[in-house]
Chains A and B, each alone.
Chain A
Amino acid sequence: MGGWFSEASNWWFLLIAVFIAFSALRVVTATNVVHSALFLVGALAGTAGLFLLLGAQFVAWVLVLVYIGAVIVLFLFGIMITRAPTGPKVEVDNPRRGFAATAAILTFAVMVYSSVSAFGHMEVTTVGTGTATDLIGSQLMGRFVLPFEAVSFVLLAALVGGVTLARKDTARDETDEGGTA
């Protein structure tokens, strides 16, 4: 254990890990949904830092750009539109908390155990040996071009689907203004 603390990167890791842990915890325990979303931002930011620590710079900034920049914004839009009720009397959790906690703890235990028993001996390379972006580019366009194209179709489908789902039907709007189903 002493050897672990001697590495500077481990200190950085510890710092960021605590931050992530706290944020993640607050994501699932916050009463206000906006708070929950903002704590998710924190968790995502911490994860980006860890990516930098691991030498995956491109992915880290992609995370920041896409996730925090677009996805969370999307979430906030969704929160705003759906206008969940807030206040001290509102119950955000359902009565299943005990069961869910048990399930989560069990999940954690199993995963930890298997990870430790399988990969306990492996080491991770440090910052100095980070991946060059052009390497990622050539990999993406070379070896992984097929999944790349497929994912672009997925994005197209999601785009079209999202627009279709969420648009206001003009004909229906004229008949019943803002009515429920």
Chain B
Amino acid sequence: MVFAAEEVMVHATDGGWLAQWAWLIVVAPFVAMVAIVFFGKRMPRKGGEVAVGAMGFVFVYAAALLILNITKGVIYQHSIQVAQLGNVSVEWGWVVDGLSTMMYFVVGILSFLVFTYAIGYMKGDVRETWFFAAFSLFVGSMLVLVSAPNLIQLIVGWEGVGLSSYLLIGHYWEEKENSSAGMKAFYTNKIADVGLIIGAIVLGTAVGSFRYSDILDAAASNSSVLVPVAVLGGVLLFIGAMGKSAQFPFHVWLPDAMAGPTPVSSLMHAATMVTAGVYLVARMYPLYAGMASDMRVLIVIIGTVTLLIAGLLAIVQDDLKRVLAYSTVSQLGYMVAALGAGGYTAGLFHLWTHAFFKGLLFLTAGSIIHAVHSNNMSDMGGLRKQMPVTFWSFTSASLALVAIIPFAGFFSKDEILATLGNNGYTWAMWIGILGAFITAFYMGRAMFLTFFGSYKGEAHVHESPGVMAVPMAILAVASLIAGWVNIPGVYEGFHHWVTGRAIAFPSFSTEGFDVPVMLTGLGFALAGIIVAYFVYFRDAETQQARDRVRIPVLWPLLEHKYYLDDLYLATLINPIKGPIARAVNWTNSYIIDGIVNGAGVVARILARFVYGDLDQKGIDLAVNTAAIVTGSAGGQARRLQTGKVQQYAAMTVAGAVLLVIAIVIFT
């Protein structure tokens, strides 16, 4: 039974002054960053207040924009040309439309809450001011990315996010593995970014402009300039999206990125970084829906594979944050698969709800880690009595993630499954349902190991302070109600929000309630929880219970992450580190340095010659000789001055006589 779907309607205003000043949202985090860099150390909260203030401003303004979009709809963009490189016009601007306002709001609310949380979490940290400055840069770059009206600005924001994530993941760089994790994230993203940049170039030069409006216009109207490059461009852009959104095989950086402080993980996984890839596909959706639609199968396949393998990996993790990391990868797989299958709203809706509950999950994990001083679940247990706020927040978020009605995730995940089923990707739908089981299993495992049983660690456990607890509570409520903005047949506001775009989507519709799929999904999820209960709750204490789950071949494979990391190390990293690096070094030392040093040696020899022979012996000799000759001549000549007047007279007479003789003779 499928409820009625609604047609797309695009009606909007241009947003008035609220949209014209929307660039303040993008600028505010950067202003905060500069202020923190210069004044942060002197402030009582080490610059955190400035950051929270800026994020608060972003949140309020984004909320205003969202309300504007809900009530009246807004489609606005403004670009300023900053450079002209040949035929390419480089512009800077901002977009205010349905997709952007949704993203602004997600970034804004999550940033505000996570920054508030971070003030408590990072208190006393070794680099608190630097943290807030980098964090503000992170949010600012994401806003640049999301507000971009053209591909070039998107790439600028993309790279900015990559840079700040590197800085933040490697925040505790005193441990080598933390800085290595940062580098791994950066390199993996950079390899994927090759696809993004080439894709952008391909599409931009084919159309002649990098603006979304121009490219998507060309795509929507099946323009002939775009025909040869549409599929290629789509594939390349998607490769870039795979990097940021941690799709297989570029997912390897995400679990290691847990080395960063927990607020970073929370914001990065919930709202900021990993959603960039999904956002890119959503933004370029007319291209994918229209001319590049041949490659959508690829997108679905990759999304589905990702969600499955990441979910399996989450089962074997002992580190609580890694469970959540793999969970994020898995959920991103859901989003990507939905977008590939044609579920524009479905994918974005899951992004929306995922932001709230995954962000909350990380905050609670941080709260636990802060109290227990360990990341590993084997050091936890029975925490629900001592940390009630954390426990109930975790529960709310887990239920949302596992997609139990009426929590947020239920509506979004159900819509994804319905989309997959109704657009011919039935195999993907079944894998998604299996994924729901796996999700429930590992989340149940995590909950039972952490909050139930007896405490296995040694630290003194206490609840987190208010500044950390309040954001968690807020997000716990949000995890419950965030899904209620798109209940098919009841209220489909979200669908209207995000489809308020400049390009009318071709033949697009949202899904209704597909009851069989919905019930199947729910059933599998509950089954997962029950199995986890039996394995981990009742016999959680005994080692036997844990060993019973260790399926011989599967478990080691999962624990070694399918040996993917080892594969990358052997084929990519080590050849570059070893022979290639050595060869380059040899060339540099002997050939390049040899030339430079040789020039130096020649100059020295030349200088020595000029100085020693030419100057000292040649020129100085001549000069000195002239001086000596003059001196001795003078010394001899002065002997004429005897002081005797008669002698002078004699000389005068002699001279005069000779002169006269000469005159007489010659005249």
Contacts and interface: CB of A to CB of B under 8 A. Distances in A.
| B interface, over-half SS | helix
B664 A114 contact: yes
Interface string B205-247: 0000000000000000000000000000000000000000000
Given A103-B653, A107-B653, A96 B646 contact: yes
B657 interface: yes
A136 interface: no
Given A94-B646, A96-B646, A110 B664 contact: yes
Interface of A: 94, 96, 99-100, 103, 106-107, 110, 113-114
A103 B647 CA distance: 13
Return the 9 tightest CB-CB contacts between A and B, nearest first.
Answer: A106-B657, A103-B653, A110-B660, A107-B657, A110-B661, A103-B654, A114-B664, A103-B657, A110-B664
Interface string B592-625: 0000000000000000000000000000000000
A114 B662 CA distance: 12
A94 B661 CA distance: 26
Contacts of B654: 99, 103
A107 B660 CA distance: 9
Contacts of A103: 650, 653-654, 657
Interface in B532-576: none
Interface string B645-660: 0110010011001001
Contacts of A113: 664
Nearest to A96: B650
A6 B150 CA distance: 141
B646 A106 contact: no
A99 B655 CA distance: 13
B599 to A, nearest CB: 72
B574 to A, nearest CB: 106
B649 to A, nearest CB: 10
Contacts of B664: 110, 113-114
A114 B660 CA distance: 10
Q: Which of B657, B660, B664 has the most CB of A within 10 A?
A: B657
A94 B647 CA distance: 11
22 contacts: A94-B646, A96-B646, A96-B647, A96-B650, A99-B650, A99-B654, A100-B650, A103-B650, A103-B653, A103-B654, A103-B657, A106-B657, A106-B661, A107-B653, A107-B657, A110-B657, A110-B660, A110-B661, A110-B664, A113-B664, A114-B660, A114-B664
Nearest to B644: A94
A88 B11 CA distance: 148
Contacts of B650: 96, 99-100, 103
Contacts of A106: 657, 661
Contacts, number: 22
B646 to A, nearest CB: 7
Nearest to B658: A106
Contacts of A96: 646-647, 650
Contacts of B647: 96
A152 B101 CA distance: 123
Contacts of A100: 650
A114 B647 CA distance: 27
A96 B650 CA distance: 9
Contacts of A94: 646
A103 B664 CA distance: 16
A14 B408 CA distance: 161
B579 to A, nearest CB: 100
A103 to B, nearest CB: 5
Nearest to A113: B664
Interface centre among A100, A110, A114 (most CB of B within 10 A): A110
A113 B646 CA distance: 27
Interface string B626-667: 000000000000000000001100100110010011001000
A123 B434 CA distance: 160
A106 B661 CA distance: 9
A103 B652 CA distance: 11
Contacts of B660: 110, 114
A173 B646 CA distance: 32
A112 to B, nearest CB: 11
A94 B660 CA distance: 26
B653 to A, nearest CB: 5
A138 to B, nearest CB: 37
A113 B665 CA distance: 11
Nearest to A103: B653
A37 B654 CA distance: 26
A101 to B, nearest CB: 12
Nearest to A117: B664
B595 to A, nearest CB: 78
A148 B646 CA distance: 33
Nearest to A106: B657
A98 to B, nearest CB: 11
Given A96-B647, A96-B650, 8 more contacts: A99-B650, A99-B654, A103-B650, A103-B653, A106-B657, A110-B661, A114-B660, A114-B664
Contacts of A107: 653, 657
B354 to A, nearest CB: 121
Interface string B176-193: 000000000000000000
A177 B646 CA distance: 32
Contacts of B646: 94, 96
A133 B450 CA distance: 157
A131 to B, nearest CB: 32
Contacts of B657: 103, 106-107, 110
A114 B659 CA distance: 13
A117 to B, nearest CB: 8
B410 to A, nearest CB: 132
A99 B651 CA distance: 10
Nearest to A108: B657
Interface in B229-275: none
Contacts of A99: 650, 654
A107 B656 CA distance: 9
B582 to A, nearest CB: 95
Contacts of B661: 106, 110
A110 B656 CA distance: 11
Contacts of B653: 103, 107
A160 B646 CA distance: 27
